[in-house]
Amino acid sequence: MKYAALVMALFSLLFGMGGCSMPEQTAGAGAEDSEAEEDRIIAVPVQVELPHRGEIAAHFETTSRVEAEHRVEVMSEGVGRAERILVEEGDTVRRGEVIAELETREAQASLRQAEVQMRQNEVEYDRAKRGYEAGVIPRMEYENAQFAYEQSKANFEAQQIQFENLTVRAPLTGAVTEMHARSGMLISSGNPVCTIVDPSTYRLVVHAPERDLPRLELGQRASVAIDALDGETFDARVSRINPSVDPTSGTVRVVLEFADEAKERLREAAFARVRLVMTTREDALLVPKDGVLEEAGRRFVYVVVDEDGNSPGTDPMAPDKEFGRLIAERRYIETGLEDSHSTEVVSGLDEDAFVVTVGHYNLRHGADVRLMDPDEELQAGLDMPADEALERARDERAAGRRRQEAMEN
């Protein structure tokens, strides 16, 4: 309980509570100057960072599911009861491999009958042909025998196809992801037997807003996190861009391809979180995203300057660094690209500016500030007894309210 109270006291000391002002800057002041300190505006403790140069990219973020370009629902072309199912879900099959066999007795009987009829007509056709060539059979009788043979031959071939259709074969090499048929089931023509996907054709299809069409190009990089693999991230690239816009959704269909080694680990329909790199800028001036504020449509940052309006140095947290009076100054900036951590500053900020990143939400232009190191502040508070920290926090809050009221009046 004492530790929890101490932590609350520290937060009160550092940032104030309920909109109160922050602890007073006490550089060079002794215990005998406490009354003078009460008459001064409390300096707000802030943490600062210098802008830095680096690369930043704008991303289009969306979600999708892994799909195989070559995905086939294997249909039965024959009719019959399934006698044998030779594969199960998860099996790998090769093109032409037997998947299922349907009952063949009736088809075999029809095929034999068609074959006998074809042979009989073939004999009659050969006899008629020799007789016609010898001039003892009229042409019409010869042609009738020829037509009968050709018809029986076509019927035999049709029966042969029907017999072969009772054996279901894999149309492509891939993995069986779903079984629809079971042994003993009556299967009709057009009924699905199983689903096969080719893992080597795994890809992602995303739909980008049409306003991003000018920024889309082949080969663009994307980062893809797969939930089924504990959020593991894979690289992908844009392989196809539909040149037309879907009039219903106002989006453009974009296909992303994975590297071959990544496809071996993916799973069909796995949920994917996609970050597609739209624009990249190198050597951009970057500031922490949390340090950028906005008011009335204008973006700004607070920077720390000395009494003359100059930056107090190049290393805000240098050891044993001594500063005079420090003031918060609002700087309006023009921003460019932005990611989850940084914002690009196009204009309005110098590289040596101390940008406030912590404690800036309650700042005002011209407010007195002091630089803090959070680790040192926390350690100093931990060395203070809990009762003393709480009492000090109460005093600082009361003093802050008085100063706030004085400034408002």
Q: How do residues 105-121 score in pLDDT, each as one tens digit?
A: 999 999 999 999 999 99
Show pLDDT as tens, one digit a residue, over the chain (409 residues): 444 444 444 444 444 443 333 343 444 444 444 444 443 457 888 899 999 999 998 888 999 999 999 999 999 999 999 999 999 999 999 999 999 999 999 999 999 999 999 999 999 999 999 999 988 889 999 999 999 999 999 999 999 999 999 999 999 999 999 999 999 999 988 889 999 999 999 999 999 999 988 889 999 999 999 999 999 999 999 999 998 999 999 999 999 999 999 998 999 999 999 999 888 889 999 999 989 999 999 999 999 998 887 877 666 555 445 667 899 999 999 999 888 889 999 999 999 899 999 888 878 898 998 887 655 554 444 455 656 655 655 665 555 555 555 545 5
Three-class DSSP category at 40: coil
Three-class DSSP category at 220: coil
Total count of domains within the chain: 4
What pLDDT, on a 0 to 100 scale, did the predictor assign at position 16? Answer: 45
- DSSP 8-state secondary structure symbol assigned to residue 312: -
Task: Answer yes or no: do 82 and 190 share one domain.
Answer: yes
Task: Answer yes or no: do 220 and 322 share one domain.
Answer: no
Can you give the residue range of the structural domain that contains 173?
75-103+166-196
Task: Answer yes or no: do 392 and 294 share one domain.
Answer: yes
List CB contacts of 234: < 8 A, sequence separation 6 or more: 223, 224, 225, 226, 258, 259, 262, 266
Task: Answer yes or no: do 295 and 353 share one domain.
Answer: yes
Query: 153-162 long-range contacts, Cβ below 8 Å, gap at least 24?
Result: 153/118, 153/121, 153/122, 155/114, 155/117, 155/118, 156/111, 156/114, 156/115, 156/117, 156/118, 158/114, 159/107, 159/110, 159/111, 159/113, 159/114, 160/111, 160/114, 162/78, 162/107, 162/110, 162/111
Q: Of the residues 153, 180, 196, which one is the last residue of a structural domain?
A: 196
Task: Answer yes or no: do 179 and 191 share one domain.
Answer: yes
DSSP secondary structure string for all residues of 264-293: TT--TT-EEEEEEEEEEEEEEEEEEGGG-E
Q: Of the residues 258, 280, 302, which one is the last residue of a structural domain?
A: 280
Structural tokens at position 327: 């003031």
CATH of the domain at 272: 2.40.30.170
Task: Answer yes or no: do 329 and 402 share one domain.
Answer: yes
CATH of the domain at 119: 1.10.287
Give yes or no for a contact between 292 and 274, defined as CB atoms under 8 angstroms apart: no
Task: Answer yes or no: do 223 and 275 share one domain.
Answer: yes
Q: Give bridge partners of residue 80 from the DSSP assignment.
A: 187
Three-class DSSP category at 66: coil
Task: Answer yes or no: do 239 and 290 share one domain.
Answer: no
Task: Answer yes or no: do 358 and 307 share one domain.
Answer: yes
Task: Answer yes or no: do 65 and 151 share one domain.
Answer: no
For residues 106 and 110, what is the distance between their CA atoms, to the nearest angstrom? 6
Structural tokens at position 361: 């939400």
Q: How far apart are the first and last CA of the chain?
A: 40
Give yes or no for a contact between 48 and 301, defined as CB atoms under 8 angstroms apart: no
Q: What is the pTM of this model?
A: 0.61
Task: Answer yes or no: do 118 and 151 share one domain.
Answer: yes
What pLDDT, on a 0 to 100 scale, did the predictor assign at position 391? Answer: 65
CATH of the domain at 294: 2.40.420.20
Task: Answer yes or no: do 209 and 261 share one domain.
Answer: yes
DSSP E strand stretches across 41-132: 44-49, 52-65, 67-68, 71-75, 80-85, 92-93, 98-102
Q: Of the residues 175, 196, 217, which one is the last residue of a structural domain?
A: 196
Residue 43: Cβ within 10 Å count: 22
Q: Give bridge partners of residue 279 from the DSSP assignment.
A: 58
Structural tokens at position 40: 């001064």
For residues 135 and 202, what is the distance between their CA atoms, to the nearest angstrom? 69
For residues 207 and 250, what is the distance between their CA atoms, to the nearest angstrom? 9
3-class SS letters over 328-384: EEEEECEEEEECCCEEEEEECCCCCCEEEEECCCCCCCCCEEEECCHHHHHHHHHCC
